[in-house]
Structures are given as C-alpha cells and as structure tokens.
Chains A and B, each alone.
Chain A
C-alpha cells in the first residue's frame, strides 16, 4: 500500500456529475483470441488495444523514473500499445521535473503529463486521468514499485480469456506474495481482509490491493459511484464492481514494500480503515 492513499485530504464531490455510460458498447471490439503461451509474448498485432497506465504521484521523484523504465520495457517486450499518464499533485520534491525528462526520453505519445495544482486525492486523480486516457483499457497501480509491471502481461492474458471487465492483482493466492512485511504487518493485512470479507463478501481475495486492469468505461462507471476515501477507496471499487455485476478475475502478484521512502501503517490508518468499512457496510 503506497503512502499516497494514506494521507488523503477531503476532495470535492466528484460523483455528483455521474455519467453512466453503458459499458457494453466497447466490449464488442475486443477479440477473444487465445494468446499463444509458447513464446511468452502476447500476440497483439491484429488487435487495437491500448493500455493507459494511471500513475498518481506525490513525492515520487526517486521511484517515478524507475517504474516508468520498467513499464516501458514491459510494454515494448510484449509489443503492446501504451501510454503512461502521470498525475502529479504538485509534489515539492520535483517529481514533475523528472517526469518531463522522462517524457523527452520516451516521447509525448507514451508519457502524458497531467499535473494538478495541489493534493486533491486519489479518486479525483483517477477521474482526471481517465478523462485524458486514450486507451480502451486502464491500468491502475502504485508508483512506488511495490507493484511490478511484469504482472501486466499476465493481467492482459487473463482479461482476454473471458473478456473480463476487471482483472485485479492478489498477494494472497498461490504464486503471489509480499516482501518486507513483519508479522504485525501481515497480521493487520490479514485481519483487515477478513473483516472486510465477512462484512461485505466482495468475492475478491485481495481487497485492499490496488494493482488492477479495467476496461476504461467500467472504471469510469465504478469511480463515479465510489464515495470512500483513503484505504477504503480501493475496496469500495471492488464492492461497487460486484454491485454492477462486472466480471472480475484475479492474477497473483508479488508485492515488494516500498524500497525508497517508508510505508505507513499506524493506529490512525487502522481506525480510518475500520470507519470506512463501517460506512460501506451500512450504506451498501
């Protein structure tokens, strides 16, 4: 869990301007071809899928170049059309400057900068990002390298299997895992998922994770319906997805806790999580 969604300030009421688009219209263009596993590469040459990665950043100067490099490498290796949309909330550490340098390395078609004036929160960052996304799929991940782009080809492969609306990464199934967590952190994570599962039964094993692939219109519809902030935000998106009957598939991911900077999980975060959970429980 990146520090980004730990300290999220109240944000404007963005869901009031809901535009519920039917998500069915674009799925017809997606081929259901079975990918060839032999080469380890995805054969995408006959399709027109484009993947937009949304990277909301706040003080990620050290991480951003590397995650961008890894993303570009992965997409290039698998011959995928992509763009990386960097939504920087006026980081004081110069994240935007380094993003501009990356843009000149990888090109304006691959690196899109959509900075904002201040720290406005994760939900609006995604809205802002989607509005600027030209891909038909959107990938959401943390910019702190706890999510590794190597999982993206797996997400895409899984998505094509049954034309899933959402593919979500999970640390908790076979093949997944974490690095850099002590027992307390693991227990908290397990307990948090258990309570959420008991109260909301969302049908997803990793509720608090945030490494996901969405069809763009699906993400738009879900995000417009989502009201939570902070930790609960990712969880509510899954609950809403279930409410809308979107199909969700899971792919195991490895999670390496922040290498640069520290990840924060204190009593405040736990209380915030429980409060958010309760709000969801009593409103859904």
Chain B
C-alpha cells in the first residue's frame, strides 16, 4: 500500500466514524453530540493549520545565517585562484 493509500484509508475511516456520530449511531452524550461532534472537522483543519504555521514559523526563526562561511569561502577562492594561475590553469 502506498503512503497516499494508507493516509487516504485512515481519512475514510475517521470520516465514517464522524458521520456515524452525526447520525446519532454512536453512544455519545447530548453535549458531545450537539456541540462538540459537528465542530470536529473544523477543529482538525485548524489544528493542522496551526501545526504548519508553528512548525514553519519556528524553523524560519531559528534558520541560521552563516556569513562567516561566506567570508571564509571568498578568501579561499582568492587563494585558489592565485595558486591555480601559478600552475597554468585558465582562471577568469
């Protein structure tokens, strides 16, 4: 089974359970049946969105810049060019 099929199957099962609950075929209390259950799909969407936002946002915040690597490289590039020119390699 591919990953898409596995995740799809899980979504179908979860969706069916939700529909059963909405139809009143599950032993749910009155508050759950009337107020919690109908909002579940929306809740899942909101949670997923929040997870994406927090995950990407956090990782963006801790994304490190490495200017020192750039300056080190530039220095080495110069060194390499000088050395290679002395060895008759065509350097721009």
Chain A residues touching B, majority SS: helix
Report the nearest B residue to A180, measured CB to CB: B70
Contact of A69 among B2, B65, B80 (CB under 8 A): B80
The reply on A265 being an interface residue by CB < 8 A is: no
Chain B residues touching A, majority SS: helix
Cβ contacts under 8 Å, B90 to chain A: 97-98, 101
Report the nearest B residue to A63, measured CB to CB: B77
The reply on B45 being an interface residue by CB < 8 A is: no
> B52-83: contact bitstring with A at CB < 8 Å (1 yes, 0 no)?
10011001100111110110011011001101
Contact of B63 among A61, A186, A254 (CB under 8 A): A186
Q: A31 CA to B83 CA in the complex, in Å?
A: 36
Cβ contacts under 8 Å, B80 to chain A: 65-66, 69-70
> A181-214: contact bitstring with B at CB < 8 Å (1 yes, 0 no)?
0010011001101100011100000000000000
The reply on A246 being an interface residue by CB < 8 A is: no
Contact of A283 among B2, B69, B73, B76 (CB under 8 A): B2
Distance to closest chain A CB from B55 (angstroms): 6
Interface size on B, residues (CB 8 A): 29
A281-B73 contact in complex given A177-B65, A191-B56, C-beta closer than 8 Å: no
Contact between B66 and A172, CB atoms less than 8 A apart: no
A69-B83 contact in complex given A199-B3, A283-B2, C-beta closer than 8 Å: yes
Contact between B84 and A190, CB atoms less than 8 A apart: no
Report the nearest A residue to B70, measured CB to CB: A179
Report the nearest B residue to A64, measured CB to CB: B89
A284-B69 contact in complex given A65-B89, A172-B63, C-beta closer than 8 Å: no
The reply on A148 being an interface residue by CB < 8 A is: yes
Contact between B73 and A148, CB atoms less than 8 A apart: yes
Q: A176 CA to B63 CA in the complex, in Å?
A: 9
Contact between A178 and B4, CB atoms less than 8 A apart: no
Cβ contacts under 8 Å, A255 to chain B: 66, 69
Contact of B81 among A61, A66, A177 (CB under 8 A): A66
Contact between A177 and B56, CB atoms less than 8 A apart: no
Q: A194 CA to B54 CA in the complex, in Å?
A: 11
The reply on B39 being an interface residue by CB < 8 A is: no
Cβ contacts under 8 Å, A61 to chain B: 92
**CB within 8 Å of B: which residues of A?**
61-62, 65-66, 69-70, 97-98, 101-102, 105, 145, 148, 172, 174, 176-180, 183, 186-187, 190-191, 193-194, 198-200, 254-256, 259, 281-284
